[in-house]
Amino acid sequence: MQTEPGSLKNKFDSIIFDLDGTLWDSTGNVALAWENARQQVAFDVAPITRERVRSITGMAYDIIFEVLLPDMDIQQRDEFKAACAKSEIDTLNAIGGDLYPQLEETIKYLSARYKLYIVSNCQRGYIETFLSHCPVAGHFLAHQCYGTKGQPKAENIMDIVSDHDLQYPVYIGDTKGDRDAATKAEVPFIFASYGFGKLEEGFIAKVDTLSDLQSIL
């Protein structure tokens, strides 16, 4: 954890969370879902592993498949993306992902002090799936994602700030894309180093576990 314990207390009125790599890790079950989708299409797709899913986590949903399958025919890529999207939601609705340790205690602590929100680059319905498996779902007041409007994460952060009249928000995420989006939205950024990315600068604090947030906020 990189900051003085308690140094950020009472400096914000709200917290906006990234989802994947920040609140849970669904990459193993997403890989299973996409592998299932791979068996459903009539053309060849390279096997989908957890490592491949982790490599693109945090990207906008449309961009993911351009990165994974750059040489595939666009029509086939769109067909596979649609199959993956359905299989992913069906699979995660059934078995969920891995909630990070002490999520319940940490969210309860934070919600007593801040308004809590989620902004993710995921497809429509994905945040709702997370919330259906989250024991403290009711503590999140609203959410926004790429799949809702097809707009970049920075704009979704700005929408949450504007729509809910947030005066002093902070964004918590685990990738360079999260940091860059928060910077563009002019919102301070806390880096969740336990997630999928690596950063050396551009954040006001770094936490090594989700529960570390209780010490600094």
Q: Tens of pLDDT along 137-150?
A: 999 999 999 989 89
SS3 102: coil
Same domain for 110 and 193, yes or no, is: yes
Give me the residue label for tokens 């919330």. Answer: 131
Same domain for 47 and 142, yes or no, is: no
Same domain for 62 and 148, yes or no, is: no
| Residue 62: predicted pLDDT | 83
In terms of residue numbers, what domain contains 211? 14-25+97-216
Q: Which two tokens stand for residue 104?
A: 């319940």
- Domain ends where: 95, 115, 142? 95
Amino acid identity for residue 210 in this structure? L
The pLDDT confidence band at residue 80, using thresholds 50, 70 and 90, is very high
Instruction: Identify which has the larger pLDDT, 5 or 62.
Output: 62
Q: What is the mean pLDDT of residues 64-84?
A: 94
Is residue 2, in this structure, part of any structural domain at all? no
Q: What is the mean pLDDT of residues 111-140?
A: 97
Is residue 5, in this structure, part of any structural domain at all? no
Per-residue CA distances from 214 to 102, 173, 189 (Å): 10, 16, 16
Q: Which two tokens stand for residue 27?
A: 């990459």
Sign of CA dihedral 81, 85, 88, 91: negative
Same domain for 85 and 107, yes or no, is: no
The pairs formed by 31-40 with CB atoms below 8 angstroms and a separation of 24 or more are 32/91, 33/84, 33/87, 33/88, 33/90, 33/91, 33/92, 34/84, 34/87, 34/88, 36/87, 36/91, 37/80, 37/83, 37/84, 37/86, 37/87, 37/88, 38/80, 40/83, 40/87
| Residue 94: predicted pLDDT | 96
Per-residue CA distances from 74 to 78, 151, 206 (Å): 6, 21, 40
Same domain for 91 and 198, yes or no, is: no
Same domain for 102 and 205, yes or no, is: yes
* Domain of residue 160, CATH code: 3.40.50.1000
Is residue 73, in this structure, part of any structural domain at all? yes
Q: Tens of pLDDT along 9-56?
A: 999 999 999 999 999 999 999 999 999 999 999 999 999 999 999 999
d(CA 89, CA 130): 10
Q: Tens of pLDDT along 158-183?
A: 999 999 999 999 999 999 999 999 99
- What percentage of the chain exceeds 90 in pLDDT? 91
Give me the residue label for tokens 């989908």. Answer: 48
Sign of CA dihedral 213, 3, 24, 124: positive
| Residue 2: predicted pLDDT | 64
Tally of structural domains, the chain:
2
